[in-house]
Structure formats: structure tokens, C-alpha cells
Structure 1
Amino acid sequence: MTIEQIHSLLLTAWIVWFFVLFTGIVVWAMRPARREKFERARLIPLREAE
């Protein structure tokens, strides 16, 4: 196995890993259980200063 083959294999593995990680984060963030927390956080800039 040459260095070019190893580089190609690692590059492919990195792309697959990044896609799986990104998809997992999106799924985790869009779960219905997280919606209420995001709704509260979305209104933070609109609250009056205390």
C-alpha cells in the first residue's frame, strides 16, 4: 500500500465520518424534546433588561 492509497483511504473515511457526525448533530438538535429549550433561547434577545 502506497502513501497515496493511504491518503485516499483516509480522505474518504474523513468525509464519511464528517457526514455521519453532522447528520447526528442535526437529528439531535431537531428532536421534539429540544424544541422548548430552543424556543426559550430564541427569545433571549427580545427580553427586557432586568
Structure 2
Amino acid sequence: MDIHEFHSLLTTAWVIWFFVLFTGIVVWAFRPSRRERFETARQIPLRDTE
């Protein structure tokens, strides 16, 4: 295995890793149990600070 084959293997593994990571974050963020937390966080900029 030369450096070019190793680079190709690492590039493929990197893309797969980021796809799995992104999918995991999306699944985690869109879980129904997170809805209430996101609803309260959504209102933070609109709260009166006085």
C-alpha cells in the first residue's frame, strides 16, 4: 500500500465519518423530547430583559 492508496482510504473514511456524525446530530436534534427545550430557547431573543 503506497501513500496514494492510503490517502484514498482515509478520504473515504473521513466522508463516511462525517456523514454518520451529521446523521446522528440530526436524529438527536429532532427527537420529540427535545421540542420543549428548543421552544424555550427560541424565545430567548424576544424576552424582556428589564
Specify the TM-score bucket, using the shorter chain as the normaliser: over 0.9
Structure 2: state its 5+ residue gaps: none
Q: In 2, Cα distance between the equivalents of 1:19 and 1:31?
A: 18
TM-score (norm 1): 0.97
Q: In 2, Cα distance between the equivalents of 1:14 and 1:25?
A: 16
1:48 match: secondary structure: coil
Identify the residue that residue 19 of structure 1 maps to in structure 2: 19
Question: For each residue in 1:1-50, what CA deviation from the matched residue of structure 2 results, as whole angstroms up to 9, or x when unmatched?
Answer: 01000000000000000000000001000000000000000000111113
Q: In 1, Cα distance between the equivalents of 2:34 and 2:7?
A: 39
Aligned length: 50
Q: Root-mean-square deviation (CA), in Å?
A: 0.5
Runs (4+) of structure 1 exceeding 2 A deviation are none
| Identity across the alignment (%) | 72
TM-score (norm 2): 0.97
Structure 1: state its 5+ residue gaps: none
Give the aligned residue type for 1:46. Answer: L
